């Protein structure tokens, strides 16, 4: 699985890199912003994207909405990570078009299972 992990907090990114090293078959690329993620996605392909919802513009939901409007990313499994689990901000996150929202902090094993399922679902839609 090729995973792009996006968070504006460098400590979180480094923890994700360390944790994912122990996951068999996972290759992780990190991005510190939505803009950097969009640049990376123009030149590299990924199976999945995990992106923090609350970042400077473009934030997670804005990036997701942009990706969902582009047919090139139809097969990309997208998970938005958010501490917001209720209210208008949560509704905006859901409406952006992510496949799933995962509450922060989250368990790595839960994320891995979620990503594996989403990649299979997306592959089924693309065929």
pLDDT in tens, 83-95: 877 778 778 887 8
What is residue 27's predicted lDDT score, i.e. its pLDDT? Answer: 93
pLDDT in tens, 97-114: 999 999 888 888 899 999
42 Ramachandran zone, left/alpha/beta (phi>0; psi -120 to 50): alpha
62 or 18: which carries more pLDDT confidence? 62
pLDDT in tens, 33-43: 999 999 999 99
71 Ramachandran zone, left/alpha/beta (phi>0; psi -120 to 50): alpha
Instruction: List strands edge to edge, sheet with 100-103.
Output: 27-31, 2-6, 48-52, 77-82, 100-103
For 2-114, which CATH superfamily applies? Response regulator (3.40.50.2300)
Q: Return the bridge partners of 58, or none.
A: none
What is residue 24's predicted lDDT score, i.e. its pLDDT? Answer: 84
């Amino acid at each position: 699985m090729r995973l792009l992990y996006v968070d504006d907090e460098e400590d979180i990114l480094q923890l994700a890199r360390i944790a994912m090293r122990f996951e068999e078959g996972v290759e992780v690329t990190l991005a510190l912003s939505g803009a950097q993620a969009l640049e990376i996605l123009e030149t590299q392909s990924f199976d999945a994207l995990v992106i923090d919802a609350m970042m400077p513009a473009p934030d997670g939901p804005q990036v997701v909405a942009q990706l969902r409007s582009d047919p090139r990313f139809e097969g990309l499994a997208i998970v938005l990570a958010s501490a917001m689990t209720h209210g208008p901000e949560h509704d905006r996150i859901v409406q952006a078009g992510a496949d799933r929202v995962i509450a922060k902090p989250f368990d790595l094993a839960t994320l891995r299972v979620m990503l594996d399922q989403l990649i299979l679902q997306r592959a089924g839609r693309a065929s």
